Amino acid sequence: MAEGTLWNVEQVRDKRFKNANYQKLVKRQWLRDTVWINREMARSNNRLVPDPDRYKVIESSAWSWPFLIYPMRMGAWKDDSIKYYEIGNPILWWASAICCIFVYPAQIAYMLVCHRRKCSSWKPAEIRQFWNVTKLLWGGWFTHYVPFFLFGRVLYIHHVLPSLYFGLLLLAFEIQCVLRWYMPARAEWPVAIVIIAISGYVFYLFSPLTFGWDRPIKELAHLQWLPTWNLVTDPHLVL
């Protein structure tokens, strides 16, 4: 048995512990502790500085996250090892990025122009509901993504996942609005079913990389949709 697998378990029993008042010894202040722990987290993060002269397969930059340019390998990449690839569903990833970066800002600008010219075709209740929902979702995406451009520490693609959640919710709401505003009532469900079917099929295609692939990765070479993905071989690795 290896030395690292041995555990030393000790137990101390003292009747005085039952009546001991630890609150006097460990008195906490919520505001002070919150400031302290965030300050220490900021200091530790600032120490994780990337090396510009060294390529690391798991690192990436914030600008590349929305369009999934550099997914991340997780674990060893040998033929007999279980391989995970942090990629999820590329279709939903790209669609949410287009929605948050291009569609929604253009849509807000268009609505403002129409409102100023008093030629809007939306009802006040529709505009109010749209704004109340989307300001939260787009704001969540923005505040969870843009600050990473100010970070000096090393970054990984999973840092964008919180903003991705907001982006996916915004995408779903935008699809709902398009179906209700611009599609006939009888076409709403068929179009929604087609979108769900496409999303489900792409998820099924990439599911081996999500749940783990223990066979040679070359068998999944057909899933390398972008040349920048290091799914089979790493195009950025200098041997």
Please, what is the Cα angle at 164 between 160 and 167, to 5 degrees?
A: 140
Q: Which amino acid is at 15?
A: K
Contact between 70 and 60 (Cβ < 8 Å): yes
Q: What is the pLDDT of residue 236?
A: 62
Give the whole-angstrom CA distance, residue 173 versus residue 5. 51
At 96-131, the pLDDT tens digits run 999 999 999 999 999 889 888 888 788 888 889 999
pTM of the entire predicted model? 0.79
Q: Comparing 29-38, 92-101, 117-126, 187-196, which segment has the lowest mean pLDDT?
A: 117-126
Exposed (0-12), middle (13-18) or buried (19+): which is 239, by Cβ within 10 Å? Answer: exposed
Q: Comparing 52-61, 82-91, 165-174, 204-213, which segment has the lowest mean pLDDT?
A: 52-61
Q: What is the pLDDT of residue 52?
A: 67
Q: Comparing 32-46, 103-117, 139-153, which segment has the lowest mean pLDDT?
A: 32-46
Q: What is the CA radius of gyration of the chain?
A: 25
